[in-house]
Amino acid sequence: MATGTPKKRVLSPLPLLDEAQVLRVCAREGIKTHNAYKMWRGLIKDGHPTVRDVPGLPKALYDVIENEFALTTSTVVKQSASKDGSTTKMLVKLQDGNMVESVIMRYGTVQFSSYLDDKGLEVEEDPTFKSKPRATLCISSQIGCAMGCTFCATGTMGLVGHLCSGEILEQLYHANQITPIQNVVFMGMGEPLDNYHEMLSAIHGMTDVQRWSMKYTSVSVSTVGVVPRLMQLARDAPKVNLALSLHAPNQDLRIQLVPSAKAWHIDKIMEALDEFIYRQNLEQARMRTVLIEYVLIAGVNDSEETAHELGALLKNRAIVLNVIPYNPTAVPHDYKSPTPETTHAFNAIVRKYDVKTIQRQELGQDIASACGQLVISNLAGEGGSMGTGGCATEPADMEELVPGPVPAMSLGKPRKRANGKKANKSASNTAATAKSGVTKSKEVATASIFNPLRVAVLIVILGFLFLAARKISSSGADADPLSSWFN
C-alpha cells in the first residue's frame, strides 16, 4: 500500500482537455482565451479528430498545441463487458504508466430490491421502473485512495497520485467513443474532495456549453465526508448531486470502517451535510435530496440496534438512504454479505423513523465493477491487467433514483450542535423550522412570479384590455366588441 504524500506527477505532453494548462499557455503566448473554447467545441461537440481540423484558429494556437499538448494523454488498454451488456469497465493507462478504472453503466429499467410506495407501504414484489435509456460514467479522480475504507478494494492501494482535471475529463472523452454519456458520478477510484480543485475544474468542463454541456444535476459527487471541502462544495457547486458514504451511525463504528473518520467527527460531517442541503435548496421550488450510501456488512453494521441509531440520526433530513449489501472483494478482512432477511429487517427499522430507503440492483458484479470493488492490481511497470475494479451504485438523477414523493423536509437553517452532540429539538422547534421552510418556498415562488419578463407581459395585456374597453365604450353598448376593435 502506498502511504504518505504522493509524489507530484509531471506530465509531458500536457492534456489538451485541461482548462487551466491551456489557458496558462494562451496567456503566455498572447492568444485570446475565446480561441481555446472554440477549439474545445470543435474537438468535443463537432467531432474534429485533431486541432488542425478545427477551422478558424490562430496559427500560434495550432503550433503551441501541437508542440506541448495531446488530445488524450491516456489510452484505454482493456475493456470488460458484463454478460447482460449493462456495464462496460475501462482500464485506462496514464502516460506515466499508472492505471485507473472507469465504468459505463447503462440504465433504462431500474429494479429495486426494497422500496416503499406512495403511501409508505413496502412493495412486496421487486418493483421495476422504466425510464429513458441513458448511460452513466463512474469516473476516477485519483490513483488509489487515502481514505482506507476497510471494505473497499481501492482503499487497499493507498494514495498513489492525483489526477489532473484533463485526465479526469479524458475518461469522459474515452467513454463517449463507446456510447453517449448522459450522467457522470465521481464514484470511481479516489476521494474526489481530496483532489478538490481538479475535480471542480473537471465539473466545470463537463457543464461548460462549449464542451459537454451537461447539467450540474447530471453530475454526482460521492465523498466519505472531507468536512472543509464539503463546506466549500456547498458554496462552489451546490447544484451537483451529493452522495455521502456514511456506513455507520456513530463515531466509534465509523472509525472501524472508515479510518479517515478520525479526522472528521460524524457530528461535524452531519453539520456539513445540513449546510449543503440548505444551500442546495435555497433557490429550488422542488425539494432536492442527498443520497446516503450505507454498505451493509454482516455482523458489523447490520444489527437492529444500529438500524435504530441510524434512523434517529437521519430523521427529518432531506436524504434518501441507499442500502448496499456488501460485495465480496479483495480486502484483508473476513467481511460477508448480510442475508436478504437481515437486509429487509434493517430497511424496515430505519423506515420507522420516516427515512426513505432504497435498495437498487447492482450492475457489473460479474466483471467486478460493483460497489467497493475498484482496484488496480498492477500499477506502473507491472503490466496492466484488470484488477478487481468496480463502482458504487449510481445516483445519477435524483428524480429517477427516487420515484414517488420524498417525506416533507425542512428548508430551514442548518442544525446547530451543542457540546459535540446533536441538540435535542422540541416539537415546537420542529414545527417552527418546517414553517420557515414553507415560508422560504413561498418566497422563491413569489420571486419567480414577479420576474421582469412576466411583469412586462402583464403590462402589455393590461394595456390591450384598456384600449379594447375604450374602443367598445366609444362604439356604443350594442356594438359587437370584436368587430368594433378590428374595423
Strands 87-93 and 99-114: antiparallel
CA-CA distance, 181 to 150, in Å (whole number)?
31
- Select from 120, 239, 138 the least CA-distant residue to 189: 138
The rounded distance, in Å, linking the Cα atoms of 343 and 297 is 10
**Cβ–Cβ < 8 Å for 120, 134:** no
Burial letters 253-266, b for 16+ CB under 10 A, else e: bbeebbbbbeebbb
**Positive or negative CA dihedral for 332, 300, 142, 44?**
positive
Alpha helix (H) ranges present in 124-223?
165-178, 196-207
CB atoms within 10 A of CB 188: 30
d(CA 185, CA 241): 9
Do 142 and 9 form a contact (C-beta atoms < 8 A)? no
Q: Exactly one of 101, 191, 293, 309 is catalytic; which is it?
A: 101
DSSP alpha helix (H) spans, 154-293: 165-178, 196-207, 227-236, 251-257, 266-280
Cell of 436: 420557515
Q: Which residues pair with 111 in a beta bridge?
A: 128
Q: How far apart are CA 16 and CA 68, in angstroms?
A: 9
* Contact call for residues 281 and 261 (beta carbons, < 8 A): no
CA gap 218, 54 in Å, rounded: 28
**Looking at 26, 164, 371, 391, which residue is catalytic?**
371
CA angle centred on 221, ends 300 and 224, rounded to 5°: 30
| 149 in catalytic set | no
* Contact of 305 with 343, CB cutoff 8 Å: no
Catalytic residues: 101, 371
